[in-house]
Each structure stands twice: as structure tokens, then as C-alpha cells.
């Protein structure tokens, strides 16, 4: 089913009449073989998503992709995908990566290199970091949802609009409110 302007919807996205479907509906010139710029990112990484939002042919198929480019020491900051498990394949470089389980909060991490594969279970906080000081790295992630969603932990906690009360955050992090106010004043960007 494809994303077009009709009244029938599946997974929140309109479907295309099966008689009107053509080969182009199942093609996306994503150019995932091309490195993306990481120099303008505060965290040194750039994520290129291929999901139902920009590739309507994925609707109802339960899959999507993302290419992650990392500059030297670049980080794909801690985040979750609320609707998907992620299978990451290292295309180039060496990454330190991991995820944290819930109750107890246990970190599963390791260093992976080109050709290695690592899985992040659905809705677990996870991250990746390029360990090279002088070379970029890249990875390709397969996700088990056509619309996996992403919640960046730092952006959600310190950059929400309206902001979470600094009293709540100071208590949660057991720090002074001045530190929370400073963190909330920073420019938070999605990556």
C-alpha cells in the first residue's frame, strides 16, 4: 500500500489503489552509498532516514532503513525507537556502541568494526560513537517498523517545549537548579 491522497488509511498513511500502483512506487533514489556531511552537526553525526514518511512504498511492510555517518569522534546520541528493533551494520570505521536495559539499568556495549552487526532491542536507550580521531565512520540500520520513531534522550529531557520544570529535573538528576537551567538554555537540535 502506498502513500497517496485517499480516504483509506493503514498505519495512519493513505493507501494507493492497487490498480494504480507502478514500479516507481517501490523505488527511492536514496543514494545511501554517498557519505553525508557531519561538520555542521553539534554531535558529529548525520542520520539519513528511509521510512514511510519519505518512501511511501514502505507502508504496511514493517521495515525501514537509516544511514548514519559519523565524523571523527562523532556520536549518535542516546535515543530510543519506540516502535522498532534496530539491526546496525558497520559500513566503515570502528564504533563504540551499546544499549541500556530497563530494571535493572544494565549497559550492554562493545566495540564493533566494518562488517560487524549489532542489535538494539525495541525501545531500549542506545547510542554509537566513532572511536577514530581522524577518520569518519558509517553504518546502515535496518528497523522493524515502517515508522520507527525516534526520541533523543537529551533533547526530550532538556529541550522539551514547554520545558520540564527545573525543580523536577534538579530532583531527578540530584543536581542544583542552576545546572538544569544552563542545560535547558542550550540549543537542542534533532539529529
The arithmetic mean of pLDDT across residues 68-77, rounded, is: 98
| pLDDT per residue as tens digits for the range 103-138 | 899 999 999 999 999 999 999 999 999 999 999 999
Please give the backbone phi and psi of residue 102, each rounded to the nearest 5 degrees, phi first.
-100, 140
Name the pTM for this structure. Answer: 0.89
For residue 139, the number of C-alpha atoms closer than 13 Å in the C-beta half-sphere is 32
- Domain residue spans of the chain: 39-149, 150-190
* CB 138 within 8 Å of CB 127: no
Q: Annotation-wise, does 133 bind a ligand?
A: no
Q: Annotation-wise, does 76 bind a ligand?
A: yes
Fold adopted by 39-149: Jelly Rolls (2.60.120)
> Looking at the chain, which runs of residues are DSSP E strands?
9-10, 13-14, 45-50, 64-70, 75-80, 86-92, 94-100, 107-113, 117-120, 125-130, 137-143, 151-152
Question: CA quadruple 136, 140, 143, 146: dihedral positive or negative?
Answer: positive
- 152-163 burial, b at 16+ Cβ within 10 Å, e below that, comes to beebebbbeeee
What average pLDDT does the chain have? 91
Q: Which residue has the higher pLDDT, 97 or 59?
A: 97
| pLDDT per residue as tens digits for the range 164-182 | 999 999 999 999 999 999 9
Amino acid at each position: 500500500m502506498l502513500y497517496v491522497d485517499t480516504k483509506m488509511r493503514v498505519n495512519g498513511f493513505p493507501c494507493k489503489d492497487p490498480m494504480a500502483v507502478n514500479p516507481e512506487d517501490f523505488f527511492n533514489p536514496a543514494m545511501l552509498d554517498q557519505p553525508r556531511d557531519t561538520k555542521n552537526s553539534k554531535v558529529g553525526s548525520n542520520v539519513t532516514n528511509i521510512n514511510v514518511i519519505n518512501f511511501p512504498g514502505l507502508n504496511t511492510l514493517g521495515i525501514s532503513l537509516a544511514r548514519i555517518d559519523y565524523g571523527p569522534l562523532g556520536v549518535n546520541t542516546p535515543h530510543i525507537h519506540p516502535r522498532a528493533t534496530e539491526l546496525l551494520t558497520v559500513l566503515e570505521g570502528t564504533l563504540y556502541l551499546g544499549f541500556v536495559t530497563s530494571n535493572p539499568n544494565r549497559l550492554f556495549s562493545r566495540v564493533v568494526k566494518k562488517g560487524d552487526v549489532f542489535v538494539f532491542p525495541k525501545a531500549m536507550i542506545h547510542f554509537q560513537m566513532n572511536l577514530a580521531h581522524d577518520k569518519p565512520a558509517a553504518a546502515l540500520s535496518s528497523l522493524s517498523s515502517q515508522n520507527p520513531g525516534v526520541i533523543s534522550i537529551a533533547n526530550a529531557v532538556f529541550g522539551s517545549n514547554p520545558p520540564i520544570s527545573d525543580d523536577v529535573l534538579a530532583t531527578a538528576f540530584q543536581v542544583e537548579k542552576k545546572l538544569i537551567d544552563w542545560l535547558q538554555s542550550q540549543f537542542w537540535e534533532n539529529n
